[in-house]
Amino acid sequence: MNYAMVRRLILKDWYLNRWIIIASVPAGIGALAIVLIGKPIAFMLCIILLCMIIIGVGAQLAMVTTINERKDQTLAFVMSLPVSWREYTAAKILANLILFLIPWLALTAGALGVLLLPGATHGLVPYTAIMSVEMLITTSLIVVAGIITESQAWTTAGIFCSSLGLNVLGYVFAHLRGISRFMWGNEVHWTPTAWTVLLAELLMVPLLLGLTFFIQSRKTDFL
């Protein structure tokens, strides 16, 4: 694996998409600032906005970096470089992950920080962490769909299903006994249930990536 080439491709994707990332951070901070109004409705609004920003950035990034290469016909240009299909796939996955991690980390830290402020509902911390990682998985899924299908239609369907899945899981997790018991309390309480869910989520990511590599390596025609 030619790491130098992979790095260059990642930097290329950063350069071409830097504005999406850069714009998301102040947007997220703005959303967090709404919480400071203090009312419960502001809290709800903040959560909704944060979700929208994170999912929006993730989906946009995934679409632009994977689908557009074929749509804009730049794929031939990239594949004419001394890079193998594996390196290209690795670069796409890593680019999306790394680029997405920037706003994700910032906003997750921000959200958790807000929750840990005196007067906020500290109990929500595990749930928030779990949902945040869930959004990471959702974005990974969209990236995987984009890379494997290279089809705008399928990837859009993937975005739709992921958003739906996010809501469903949000509901499910909020009602798991191990989590719901302490959610609205004033203490940060990590139950075994919460840990299990978090661990399972974190394991999903390498699983998805491995699957992508496997499927991509079976392709023989790139153009």
Partner 1 sequence: MNDVCVRLAGVSKKYPHFQLENISLELPVGSILGFIGANGAGKSTTIRILMGLVHQDKGSVEVLGHAMPSGQVAAKQEIGFVSEDMRLYGAATLAWHMAFIESIYPAWNQPYAEVLLRRFDLKPQQKIKGLSHGQRVKAALLLALARQPRLLILDEPTTGLDPVARREVLAELIAVLADEERTILFSSHNTLDVEQISDRIAFIDRGRIIAFDDKEALLDRWRRLRLVLPPRGALPQLPGIVEVGGSDRLPVLTTSQFDARVVSLCQDRGATVQAVDPMTLEEIFVANVQSRRELQPA
- Output the smallest distance, CB 19 to partner 1, in A: 10
The residues in 56-75 that bind partner 1, with binding defined as CB under 8 A, are 72-74
184 membership: H or E segment, kind and range: none
Stretch that binds partner 1, among 46-54, 83-91, 101-109, 137-145 (CB under 8 A): 83-91
CA atoms of 139 and 135, how far apart (whole Å): 6
For position 192 contacting partner 1 by CB under 8 A, the verdict is no
Angle between helices 152-174 and 124-149 (to 10 degrees): 160
Min dist CB 137 to partner 1, Å, is 29
- Cα separation of 79 and 75, whole Å? 6
12 binds partner 1 (CB under 8 A): yes
Nearer to partner 1, 87 or 134 (CB): 87
By CB under 8 A, residue 15 contacts partner 1: yes
Cβ-based nearer residue to partner 1, 5 or 208: 5
Q: What residues have CB less than 8 Å from 125, skipping those under 6 apart?
A: 112, 115, 116, 188
Can you tell me which of 3, 26, 40, 80 binds partner 1, judged by CB under 8 A? 80
CB of 214 to partner 1, least distance (A): 18
Which are the contacts of 147, defined by CB distance < 8 A and separation ≥ 6? 66, 89, 92, 93, 212, 216
Site for partner 1 in 101-130 (CB under 8 A): none
Judged by beta carbon, residue 118 or residue 220, the one nearer partner 1 is 220
For the chain, report the end-to-end CA distance as a whole number of angstroms. Answer: 22
If binding is defined by CB under 8 A, does position 5 make contact with partner 1? Answer: yes
Does residue 82 touch partner 1 according to CB under 8 A?
yes
8 belongs to the binding site for partner 1 (CB under 8 A):
yes
**By rule CB under 8 A, what count of residues binds partner 1?**
22
218 binds partner 1 (CB under 8 A): no
Contacting positions for partner 1 (CB under 8 A): 2, 5, 8, 12, 15-16, 72-74, 76-77, 79-84, 87, 220-223
